[in-house]
Amino acid sequence: MAIAEAMLMEMEMEEKTTQRVLERIPEEKLTWKPHPKAYSLGQLAMHIAVAQGRVASAAVEDVHEFSPPPLPDPKSRKEIMDAFAASNVQAKQVLKGFDDAKMMSTWTLKRNGKVIMSVPRVGFLRAIMLNHIYHHRGQLSTYIKLLDVPVPSIYGPSADENPFA
């Protein structure tokens, strides 16, 4: 199995889980923040929604200059869900174009011309396109718990949902 194929299989599985978490976002709380320095609920959800497509697109280049656009303040859960669906389509399309040689080739991230990282492309995609999103999904599940919204099962039962019962 090719590297990209394995990554695509993981994305399919994790996409369903992330969708379940995003669907729990209370629309009336999109501007809520657990701390003044934190993203709002809507900003964090939108970051999760758009990240995979943006990261995959950056991985097409051999050298990418980091200049992320500001996170928008979404107005609805639908806006977040639509962005998530489009981002996943974009990320999958990009990955389908990578053979193992491309996945193993060096990819470099720069900011203001300074090298931040230079790693095999697969390492960047694994760390940022996948693991980074799982990290933020965990944050989002904490946000919704703090808002007294039932947290869905992620990798097993949550305090609110047990798919094995």
- The residue ranges of every structural domain in the chain are 3-145
Express each pLDDT in 78-131 by its tens digit. Answer: 999 999 999 999 999 999 999 999 999 999 999 999 999 999 999 999 999 999
Question: What are the tokens at 142?
Answer: 């904490």
123/106 Cα distance (integer angstroms): 9
Express each pLDDT in 145-157 by its tens digit. Answer: 999 999 999 999 9
3-class DSSP state for residue 123?
A: helix
Topology classification of domain 3-145: Four Helix Bundle (Hemerythrin (Met), subunit A) (1.20.120)
pLDDT band at 71; cut points 50, 70, 90: confident
Higher pLDDT, 145 or 68: 145
Q: Is the pLDDT of residue 63 over 90?
A: yes
pLDDT value of residue 22: 98
